[in-house]
Structure 1
Amino acid sequence: MTTTVPQPATAPPTPATTTVISGWSVLSPYGIGAGPFTQGLAERRPVVPRLNREVWHAPPGDALLVPGFDVVTVLGSRGTRTMDRLTGLTVATLGTLVDPDGTARRLDEPERVGLVLGTGSGSVQSTMDFTRDALTGAKPFYVDPALFPNTVMNRAAGQSAIWYGLKGPNATLAGGPLTGLQALRYATRLRERGYSRTVLCGAVEEFSEQRAWLAWHTRGEARRATPLAEACAMFLLEDAETAREAGRTPYADILAVRFGAGPRGPRAALERCVRGALEAAGTTPGDVALAAPSGRVAPPPGACPMGFGNPASGTDETDTVETDVLGTVLDGTDAEFIGVRDLIGDASAASAGVQLAAVLAAAAHRPRPGATALVTSVDDDGLVACLVLRLR
């Protein structure tokens, strides 16, 4: 994790009130912005994977890219000559959130606006390309120095802050599929402890040939049935009063984020994590209206499915853990399960962020004010996470 947190001149103020999500946007295989994502999810429309083999020399299988996304086309030619795809996705997503009409509008008090970004390990393509040039060139230092910044993990977050004039704390985290929830908890603490009044928070994953080949050699056969995807989801975090002063309407309150580990398997760890998060949030399973697991699975018996494509294919033991646990915890409730991975593929480090965006999209499509929503995530090493929200 790389982070730059300036120390305040005086002691941080008393912890602020509950953090709310007052804005969000996403770039996904459905398109650019929250609109296409919300519509695609509401229609439960799986994206058809198509990969241009003349452009991408990837292993067998297809991938789900942001349609029509090109850094220069979307962001313009100024300042993008050496910008890699990961950075471009992040800058573009933030643009649809803080500058949706293209008038270069900036958030108030930029010195109090922080940015926390979750990523897999930065741009795998940029790192491997730069390393290859150092190994294959006439001499190791015959490389393009302008491309070196793309190899640093916090390039996307730093460039985004420069692009939009954000002067608050800037941090980058990496944690696999749980990254989006890790970034959310980090951002929430950053704001509630007085280091930022407003925090932009999210997670990003790019598609590249290098990532595709790494995934091909590390994922099992069942996982390969799920195409890789790229996405970026960003959220605006502040307190409700700040949101009202700025004319923004909160979408949800962040009640609790919990993490756990199950060295002998994630099932028991996830159940403890979910129950602990609900208890910390002061809510009960009966209050849960929406649940967004990260796995590509069918909902448990009695649950109401939303967005499940073809759950029979491409599942493994890790995939089934979440819906099994949620089925146990939410037994007897009418909670609605939101399947995202079935529709848009495996977004890896951006997965949890996209799941959170799916919850907000579902709540916008069919409001459930006062209800509770869950977002869960599990990785192959047995790490688990659970986010509890109260919908507005």
Structure 2
Amino acid sequence: MSQSSSALDVAALREDYPVLDREVSDGVPLVYFDNAATTQTPKQVVDSIVDYYYNYNSNVHRGIHQLSQEASVAYEEAHDRIAEFVGASGGREELVFTKNTTESENLVAYSWGLNELGPGDEVVLTEMEHHASLVTWQQIAKKTGATVRYIPIDDDQTLDMDAAKDIIGPDTALVSVVHVSNVLGAINPVSELADLAHEQDALIFVDGAQAVPNRPVDVEAIDADFYAFSAHKMAGPTGVGALYGKKHLLADMEPFTYGGEMINRVTYEDATWADVPWKFEAGTPVISQGIAFAEAADYLDEIGLERIAEHETHVTEYAYERLAEYDDVEVYGPPLGEERGGLVAFNVDGIHAHDLSSILNDHGVAIRAGDHCTQPLHQKMDIAASVRASFYLYNTREEVDALLDGIDDAISIFK
């Protein structure tokens, strides 16, 4: 694969990912364009998991023996490292490990939402929210009597900020917004939304699952009250995510789950809780995954998030430009020239997204087809499903050409 026009040495980086050398569909080389769902994992991150299990596998915070001490230190320092990665100066006191972004959203919904929301309160979402946000706050509103309102999208499929200024008002208790849409690729002005929320004494929760992997994020500069993201979308392992929360908010919140590890003192009558973050991490936690999470952060920082963002932009713009050449292809999201995340969702007229995905698979191209956990957004756009090609630091323009060859084949078959 040739190097992209960005500053990344893509050929060298691809050597970190053995899976990218495999063949699929009768010897066809793999083209992996499903990165918005899960990125591939480099050898350095896998090696950190192997190192844990081979050399100091032990439970944390439960033993005074050498292995437990080493595991505990590595796990605690992983919290500090991930906090640093997103600009949280409070370290582990502001950074909780969860299973994923969805669990982070639910943690806040149940630990904060159930206790703070009531009739007359409003939770403001956007029309481009992932189900992790939309369904969670929808159900919490039903339990508490709160109301959910939605900031609409404009004709160019970006957020209508004039409407946002009207919708976020005195009754708003929380704004929950996706930082980068996993369908439209739109990058939302989360700092401006945070200002609008705080002007009304409301909080803001930012879903950063599609932002943290490929661009510098500073939660304090954004002034986010809560910010969530997942390791498996940023070259890390599955099974672990992070919730950033301002220190005073996390300190006042009740635990989401109960059991071992999260307690301070227990009697037959009552219990008190451990400090943040441990009070939110009941039971044996995600030890190896957390350690590997920190390794992924080191890996990305060594490459440079600015360079990763630049590379993704080059590949995304090329894909957008080439897809726009087709008369029967509709590309969704902001037009070329607007800032976009590293993905392109589209449909080919007369070909169902699942059929196109199957033909692309025959060409070795792995993409996502469906509603991408955004059924209401697809309903608003009056489409049943879409095809999504999402890019990461190891993808190239030549791979986009393979995608286009698959589309040409599909068009010739169906038309």
Between Structure 1 and Structure 2, the one with more strand by share is 1
> Do Structure 1 and Structure 2 share a fold, with TM-score over 0.5?
no
Classify the TM-score, shorter chain.
under 0.3
TM-score, structure 2 normalization = 0.26
Whose radius of gyration is greater, 1 or 2?
2
